[in-house]
Chains A and B, each alone.
Chain A
Amino acid sequence: MVQAQSRGGSRGDPASLGGTSSTDLNVVYDSGGGPPAKRKTLLSNAVLGTMIFILTEIMLFGGLVSAFLIGKSMASFGWPPPGQPRLPIENTAFNTLALLLSGVALFVAHRRITDAPATAKSPLWAAILLGTFFTVSQGYEWVGLIAEGLTLTSSVHGAFFYLIVGAHALHVMVALGFLISCGLQVNQGAVELNRFHATEAFWYFVVGIWPVLYGLVYLS
């Protein structure tokens, strides 16, 4: 006699689908009686969904970067065009370091959160603070650049700069929002692991793509 299966399983119930299984996606079930076992999944719904979203995001930035490279190759009077301000390479290098460190801090939190969630608190908030520092400091740079005359309409160079760096900033801010909500959960001692892992994946994407953008937009 086969019994009715719990209905929560396929609805992304966070508690029931911890993604720690090392089983293959194709689990063969015995054909005897007993309740149908819940499908063991390699990645939880939230993490898999986020990874698919990140695929689109990578292609979005891929599109922006290829457009930038084509735009740059069309420039007939050098890049950046004459009369346009120089980008603050050193300050941004420092900000980049802060963002990378926030990725490291989040990884430390990841190592601790499963076994002892309370100890993950300080690295998680360190990651949030470093990410916030990056955003604020980059915003401060924009104020300076606009004052120096680099705007969206001043040249294709300016347009690409604000488009690409702005698209990244928007992602950082959304991801920070998710990180903060995870941080608040940790403070209350009730962290949803799937939500944390999904946020983590997105933050690594945001951190990981920045050095590429920095190298292309600022250094080349």
Chain B
Amino acid sequence: MAEHAGEAAHGHDGHHEMSFWSKYVFSTDHKIIGMQYMFTGMAMALIGGFMAYVFRMQLAFPGEAVPGFGGVSPADYNSLITNHGTIMIFWVAMPVLIAGFGNFLIPLMIGCDDMVFPKINRLSYQIFLLSAIVLIVSFFVQGGGFGGAWTAYPPLSAKAEYSLTPLGSTLWLVAVALEFVAFLLGGINFVTTTMNSRAPGMKMYDIPMVIWMIVVASILFMASVGPLIAGAVMLFMDQNVGTGFFDPGKGGDPILWQHLFWFFGHPEVYVVLLPAMGIVADIMTVFSRKKLFAYRTVLYTVFGTGVLSFTVWAHHQFIAGVDPRMAHIFTITTLLISVPIAEMCFVYIATLYGGSIQLSTPMLWALAFLAEFLIGGVTGIFLGASGADVYFHDTYFVLAHFHYTFFPIAIIGVFAGITYWFPKMFGRHLSEFWGKVHFWGTIVAFNCIFIPLFMLGAAGQHRRIYNYNHFPDLATPELQRLRVIATSALLVMLAFQAVFLINFFYSLFKGKKAEKNPYNANTLEWTAASPPPHGNWAELPRVYRGPYEYSHPDRDTDYWPQNEPN
């Protein structure tokens, strides 16, 4: 015993006293890197949320000074909506869901001590941090931040005469490109680690669903981002070198950008959706004490969805002048892709059916994910059908639709994951009571923001308009009342996030100490100490069964950890 304990300690390079810098800033430990991503993402979410507050105030009370910001000029407004979207997708949803949870969970759930390329992993975070800094700097350069929407369609994004943000546009593009490099490096690590470093005995079908989903999401990202990188280089050259790739005056084609962008942009939805669905799957099995219904079917469905997601992109371009025959094809593929996602929702409901459901905070978030995402999915059908989309395109109906998909993904899914794994991450429990207060405050307010926006969109309210008083048809008191309701609900929702932040930081230092396996869960991360030490386990675990053996009839206890021989 003493002999191999010495061996284990010997194998730990740097297990001895480490300075604050080498432990928390320049660490190659997957858990620290995961938390760096997560905290950076949360900081960016505060910036993105503040931007939403400013432009929603402008829409509800046009022309009045916004407390904490001041008067909102049209250029400010454009820059705020553009960077709100950019930040929430590229600097919140992706870093937290894929890089944050991926880094923290993959080695812990497959039973190894770190990623296969720890230094590349550290480099990935450093590039990501640099990208965030470049983006923030772009708000303060001459002309202000980029204001051509997060989709950056040329000619607005390509020509300084149109965008009026000569430096802001370029910095925005550079920041996004750096962010892609960071996720490429991370994705290579995630897939290679999961394939090559699993604990002995862990077969393909023993991998927890959340890990599969993060791996598939990484592959989708890497397979879809190439054309956008190509497009970004071309846009950069149009901006700074004087080429005319997207300039019809020089023989180029502005629609080309839309194809390159959405070829990435639609799979990107699944890149962030899948990790959230994985988190929800793992939480639902634990808090209903049931096996995940149809594990293999879910897995094959995920692969199928991934392939299909590359064939739907032009549904974003139905009114961009694409051939109507092509629009038919993309309508069909778009409606088709709702089938596997609906199937997964049914599978989750089947997992819950007959279980002993425990409404803990993470479970509430998981259930809310399902309910809210369903609304997002169903409203997408109207937009995927090219005929209906001609009316709905670029209205608030579209905006409300994708917020009903992205909010469940990037906010509800993330809160589910953070509240569930918090004891493992920090060794302490969050407050359940304040967790539930935060949950109800957020969910009720969220619906009160976006249901009015669906109504505004159906009434014909166009997106990207700075002041509706300039449009007599849209400046009626009825419509303005809906705008005020949405903004007021946003204020309530933002206020409730203070509850979360206080709960989070208070529990970080003063919360109840967490034991190894507080939920009686099966997966391997719960066999490590809370929080796991550098290297995760003194002895790496061995795996004997799948991750979801809850309430097995032959067992006295209602769970059966993956690492127990029998």
Contact = CB atoms under 8 A, between A and B. Distances in A.
Interface of A: 2-12, 17, 25-29, 31, 36-39, 41, 43-45, 48-49, 52-53, 55-64, 66-67, 70-71, 74-75, 81, 152-153, 155-157, 159-160, 163, 167
Contacts of B113: 7, 10-11
Given A48-B196, A60-B226, A159-B237, A10 B204 contact: no
Given A11-B113, A159-B243, A163-B237, 17 more contacts: A2-B539, A4-B7, A10-B197, A11-B114, A12-B116, A26-B203, A28-B203, A29-B542, A31-B544, A48-B195, A52-B222, A53-B188, A56-B184, A67-B256, A71-B256, A153-B241, A153-B242
A152 B239 CA distance: 13
B192 A45 contact: yes
Q: Which 9 A-B pairs give the minimum distances between C-beta atoms?
A: A63-B227, A59-B226, A7-B11, A63-B230, A60-B226, A10-B197, A36-B200, A159-B243, A156-B251
Nearest to A59: B226
B227 A60 contact: yes
A67 B204 contact: no
Contacts of A7: 8, 11-12, 113, 535
Contacts of A10: 107, 112-114, 116, 193, 196-197
Contacts of A66: 227, 259
A166 B505 CA distance: 50
A218 B11 CA distance: 56
B281 interface: no
Interface of B: 4-5, 7-8, 11-12, 107, 112-114, 116-118, 184, 187-189, 191-193, 195-201, 203-204, 219, 222-231, 233-234, 237, 241-245, 250-253, 256, 259-260, 263, 535, 538-540, 542, 544, 565
B117 A12 contact: yes
Contacts of B223: 55-56, 59
Contact of A63 (B8, B260, B538): B260
A41 B231 contact: no
A176 B253 CA distance: 35
B8 A74 contact: no
Contacts of B260: 63, 67
A85 to B, nearest CB: 16
Contacts of B234: 67, 163
Contact of A25 (B204, B219, B227, B538): B204
B241 A70 contact: no
Contacts of B200: 27, 29, 36-39
A152 B242 contact: yes
Contacts of A155: 250-251
A49 B197 CA distance: 13
A41 B535 contact: no
Contact of A49 (B192, B242, B252): B192
Main secondary structure of the interface of B (DSSP, over half): helix
B230 A45 contact: no
Contacts of A157: 251
A36 B565 CA distance: 13
B242 to A, nearest CB: 5
Which of the listed residues B8, B112, B188, B219 has the most CB atoms from chain A within 10 Å of its own CB?
B188
A70 B253 contact: yes
Given A4-B8, A10-B113, A39-B196, A71 B227 contact: no
Contacts of B197: 9-10, 39
Nearest to A38: B200
A131 to B, nearest CB: 23
Contacts of A12: 116-117
B225 A56 contact: yes
Contact of B538 (A4, A48, A62, A159): A4
A74 B242 contact: no
Contacts of A41: 195-196
28 contacts: A4-B8, A4-B539, A5-B540, A7-B113, A7-B535, A10-B196, A11-B116, A25-B195, A31-B565, A36-B199, A45-B116, A45-B192, A48-B191, A49-B116, A56-B223, A58-B226, A60-B226, A60-B229, A61-B230, A62-B227, A63-B227, A63-B228, A63-B229, A67-B230, A74-B251, A156-B243, A156-B244, A159-B237
A205 B112 CA distance: 31
A55 B222 contact: yes
Given A11-B114, A11-B118, A52-B187, A64 B222 contact: no
Contact of A71 (B116, B219, B253): B253
Contacts of A163: 233-234, 237, 243
B108 to A, nearest CB: 12
Contacts of A61: 226, 230
Given A7-B535, A153-B242, A63 B226 contact: yes
Contact of B241 (A5, A67, A74, A152): A152
A153 B224 CA distance: 29
A74 B249 CA distance: 12
A43 B200 CA distance: 17
A4 B245 CA distance: 59
A141 B233 CA distance: 23
Nearest to A70: B256
Contacts of B244: 153, 156, 159
B223 to A, nearest CB: 6
Nearest to A47: B192
Contacts of B204: 25-26
Contacts of B253: 70-71, 74
A17 to B, nearest CB: 8
A48 B117 CA distance: 12
A49 B117 contact: yes
Which of the listed residues B113, B196, B222, B538 has the most CB atoms from chain A within 10 Å of its own CB?
B196
A31 B563 CA distance: 11
A38 B111 CA distance: 12
B230 A152 contact: no
Given A67-B234, A159-B237, A56 B226 contact: yes
Contact of B542 (A36, A38, A156): A36
B540 A36 contact: yes
